[in-house]
Amino acid sequence: MKFTKARALVLIAFSVPLAIELRTVAGFFNVELPLIAVAVIEFLFLALLFVLYGLYGEGSESPA
Amino acid sequence: MATTRSDRAFVDKFPHEAAIVKATFLVAFVALGIGAFFGLIQALHRTNVLRVIESADYYTMLTGHGVLLAIVFTIFFLCGVFHWAVARSLNRPAESRLFSWAWVGLMTTGTVLTTVAILGGLVPNLGMSADVLFTFYAPLQAHPLFYIGLAMFIVGTWLAGADWFLSYRAWRANNSGERIPLQTFMVLTTMIMWYVSTIGVAVSVVFFLIPWSLGLIESVNPLLTRTLFWYFGHPIVYFWLMPAYLMWYTVLPKLAGGRLFSDPLARVVFLLFLLLSTPVGIHHQYLDPGIAEGFKFIAMTNTMFLLLPSLLTAFTVVASMEHGARQRGGKGYVRWLGALPWRDPAFTGMALAGAMFAAGGFSGMINAGMNINYLIHNTLWVPGHFHLTVGTAVALTMMAGSYWLVPQVTGTKLYSRPIGLLQVIMWFVGMVFMSNAMHRAGLAGIPRRTAEPQYQNFEFLTPIGSIFELRVQIALGGTLLFLSVVLFLFNILLTSLGDESDRPVDAALPEPLSGPEGSPRILDNLAMWTGIAALLVILAYTLPLAGIIQNGGGLFGGGLPVPATLSAGLDFVVVTVSSAFNTLLGVIA
Amino acid sequence: MEIHTYEKVWLALSLVLIVGFIATIAYGASAGPGIDMIDDKGGTVDPATLDEHPKFGDPGIEKTGENQYDVYVVARQFVFEPGTSEPLRVPEGSTVTFHVTAADVIHGFEVVGTNANTMAIPGQVAEFTVEFDEAGEYGILCNEYCGSGHHVMEGTILVMEQSEFDSWYEQQEQQTGGEN
Amino acid sequence: MAVDSTAEGAAAAPASHASDTEGVPADAASQSSSGQADPRADSIVGAADDDIVREIEHDDFDPVGTLVLVLIYMSILIGMWVFMYFIEFLGRGLTVVG
């Protein structure tokens, strides 16, 4: 299964609610996560996604 | 090239129906653009990010936002979808072109009158306003034009329903033994529900509000008109939702590369909505004085059983998508999700809309819980909830559906699929920000429908994060949603201006995996289901309405209160009968 | 009618979920938490002659028994009487029955951050009882759109220490007594 | 590809819905090799059928993935309900008791 732009976009979309609710989940374990931590985690996720896209994304196999 | 486009494109096969669909979509999209703009202004205003209007004008914008999006956009669009679905699934044009244009014209005229009355509020010295919000609770009063426009609009929808019933009758004359085609079945059951439920608002508007706004009667009974509104106000929720369900059941499986999992269950689901949509309106009035707790409990049981068709839908629709994914080579317990056609904005939009509906379903369960309603009643939680349901499950499905439907009625190809994909994802992300923050703000006690919830005497507290963060999230989400609408309208406009295409979309709808053949014929007995629906409504509403009229100073309010309490015994009988009905329905399903 | 086994499982679970929800609500209404709904027990009132009403004509707090009080509140555009121009005073450790009605249009009565929340409808009286355990302050706001000034409609509830409240209450009684 | 689009077209005519089992498997086989590189699949909405690699009939399909998803959903629902009712709601002060 190829890592297409569309799949990357959908993954980004689904990461947003998870990131927002991360603080609630942390709250259940009595961890107070500051907003900036969530922003950093989301940023790292996006960076990872970009790297993966670069390695396995549509362009890498150049089917055209 | 053995076949020409005429063999397959809807616009060539049914040019007149396509014209009607185009007209209704045009009105819907104009309303969407204006309504979304008002929404942006409100999101920025109430969060104190940017204030370009006076706070008193906020309510004019809010009325416009509610009426243009929740009534005009949704209902015009669904009329287009229904007109398309009936012609397509019965494979015959409407009986009378003139009649079709008559209802489009009547609905449009009503819309224009109501919109003029609302926007008149922005023009000082005009003496015309309708800042009564989408619920128009008396004794707040609007200009008579507002109510008259509304009445015309509703009569227009009645005629539209008649149009589809006439098509069905003509089809039935030539196909006496056949099962009703699924899409037509969905349209007809939805319209029966609409006829039953709009009686409430029609009585309220025609007998009370119009005479009162014209000065013919002195006063109205506020609890009575409010109850009549919610008699109609909850079924309208399902009137918005049913076209989305129609697309999820009949179009989404195809977009996913699969087939509908079960046709009979789809029919059962629509019948359950027909039966249970109306006798639940009192769940919007859990905190109203003047209505006995027993009636509220009945409304709650009915409401909770109304979860059943939606939970069944979740299974059937996801299973249909899974079928597509597996046909496209998907494997595993959850990995198959990756094999879905995420590039297709029509598919992705509908799938994301469904995912958000699952979340909105949860906040709806909280709303429906009779006593937990104290927690969130009239707080920002409630708009947070319905922006997930009507604002995403319905609106995003309609926008995504447009990417597949509009090309069929224009004969042109979608201008840009990538922009479409970006648009639906922006909607999803924007709504996650806005709706999540609204739910949280509601739990902190921030009220809905308020221009500037920044009070002098107290502060709102939230356990996680801060109120400031929530405000920023609402403003950010609202901005993304508005930009998403702009992209959508731009994409659709350029689509309609494009060149004719040989194959605007792939319009074929595959047969269901499990067809209607094996299902009981009684499912198609519309007259019987209508009768049961009416009976349930009578059971759920007769006593509360009688109580309101007797206790609350008569039909028109202002009279002397006549104490009259309903006996507990009677209460008990109603609860028992209604629960028995519900259980029975559960068993049938 | 043929239904797939998995879907039957889901259908059964859904019914259990629904019954579970209803059972939770019934538990909340039962003796344990004892949550009562706003209903028709408050009776009705003529909004046009509210000023002449024995209670709503001069709304406020009234002692009805040991630690038992009745509070009458009128919501009108865009104030709570009492609540807005002066705080609604109650003593700590008391059981207070509110009677809330509206004089003009439909309003809401929400004690911010709590489960005390009701509609105020002209002609109807919302009657509900809450217990104030500790001294402190609560905000009140109108949570139903009631006109162009809806966003300024707010007030406070002051939960006072018993002795403080008693002296205030006595003073009130004397004043109204003197006027008559 | 031209042949293929004709087959699609025939299937699109409402009268011949039932015929879609006849031609498609062959088409699908020829399609799977070209896969997503097919430029047409990029420009037409609703062309997911073009990427079908195997036809799955009613009796061969167990929606196990769906069951997994809905069970996850239900466990979230129950967890959230318990949290909202017993902690958020019953844990708050000033509750209407009469």
**CA separation, residue C83 to residues B375, B393, B564, C100, C109 (Å):** 21, 41, 32, 12, 11
> How much is the pLDDT for B51?
93
Chain D contact partners (≥3 CB pairs within 8 A): A, B, C
Tokens standing for residue B151: 């009445």
| Domain enclosing residue B364, as ranges | 342-450+460-503
> How much is the pLDDT for D19?
37
Cβ atoms of B212 and B366 within 8 Å: the answer is no
> How much is the pLDDT for A20?
87
CB contact under 8 A, B375 and D92: yes
CA distance B352 to B393: 8
Closest partner residue to A16 (CB to CB) among B429, B463, B469 is B429
Question: Which residues of D are less than 8 Å from C64 in CB distance?
Answer: none
Say what the ipTM of the complex is. 0.90
Nearest-5° angle of CA B381, CA B385, CA B388? 140
Q: What is the pLDDT averaged over residues A33-39?
A: 86
> How much is the pLDDT for D43?
63
> How much is the pLDDT for B583?
64
Would you tell me which residues 11-30 of chain C have a C-beta closer than 8 angstroms to some C-beta of chain B?
Answer: 11, 14-15, 17-18, 21-22, 24-25, 28-29
Question: Which residues of D are less than 8 Å from A64 in CB distance?
Answer: 37
> How much is the pLDDT for B553?
65
> How much is the pLDDT for B567?
40
Cβ atoms of B396 and B426 within 8 Å: the answer is no
CA dihedral C4, C6, C10, C15 (to 10 degrees): 60
CB contact under 8 A, D36 and A64: no
> How much is the pLDDT for B588?
53
Q: Is the pLDDT of residue D10 over 70?
A: no
CB contact under 8 A, A1 and B422: no
For residue A50, being part of any structural domain is answered with: yes
CB contact under 8 A, C130 and D94: yes
Q: Which residues contact B124 (CB under 8 A, 6 or more apart)?
A: none
For residue B581, being part of any structural domain is answered with: no
For residue A51, being part of any structural domain is answered with: yes
pLDDT tens sequence across B86-120: 999 999 999 999 999 999 999 999 999 999 999 99
pLDDT tens sequence across B158-169: 999 999 999 999
Cβ atoms of A42 and A15 within 8 Å: the answer is yes
Q: Is the pLDDT of residue A29 over 90?
A: no
The total domain count for chain A is 1
What is the CATH classification number for the domain harbouring B203?
1.20.210.10
Cβ atoms of B403 and B359 within 8 Å: the answer is no
The total domain count for chain B is 2
| Domain enclosing residue A47, as ranges | 5-57
Q: Which residues contact D22 (CB under 8 A, 6 or more apart)?
A: none
For residue B552, being part of any structural domain is answered with: no
> How much is the pLDDT for D2?
34
> How much is the pLDDT for B575?
61
Q: How far is D88 from chain C (nearest CA, A)?
A: 10
Q: Which residues contact B234 (CB under 8 A, 6 or more apart)?
A: B197, B277, B278, B280, B281, B283, B284
What does residue B443 show for φ and ψ, rounded to 5 degrees?
Answer: -65, -25
Its CATH class, for the domain covering C40-179, is mainly beta
CB contact under 8 A, D37 and A2: no
CB contact under 8 A, C21 and B304: yes
Residues of B with catalytic function: 234, 238, 385-387, 448-449
Closest partner residue to D98 (CB to CB) among C13, C28, C129 is C129
pLDDT tens sequence across B530-564: 999 999 999 889 888 888 887 766 777 754 333 33
pLDDT tens sequence across B31-75: 999 999 999 999 999 999 999 999 999 999 999 999 999 999 999
Q: Is the pLDDT of residue B574 over 70?
A: no
The pTM of this model reads 0.90
> How much is the pLDDT for B300?
94
Q: Is the pLDDT of residue C12 over 60?
A: yes
For residue A52, being part of any structural domain is answered with: yes
Would you tell me which residues 33-62 of chain D have a C-beta closer than 8 angstroms to some C-beta of chain A?
Answer: 36-37
Provide the CA C155 distance to its chain's centre, in angstroms.
Answer: 13
Q: What is the pLDDT averaged over residues C17-29?
A: 95
For residue A33, being part of any structural domain is answered with: yes
Structure letter (DSSP) for residue C137 = E
- Whether the ω angle into residue C54 lies within 30 degrees of 0, i.e. cis, is no
Q: Is the pLDDT of residue B311 over 50?
A: yes
**Polymer length in residues for chain C:** 180
Q: How far is D29 from chain C (nearest CA, A)?
A: 29
Closest partner residue to C46 (CB to CB) among B222, B561, B565 is B561
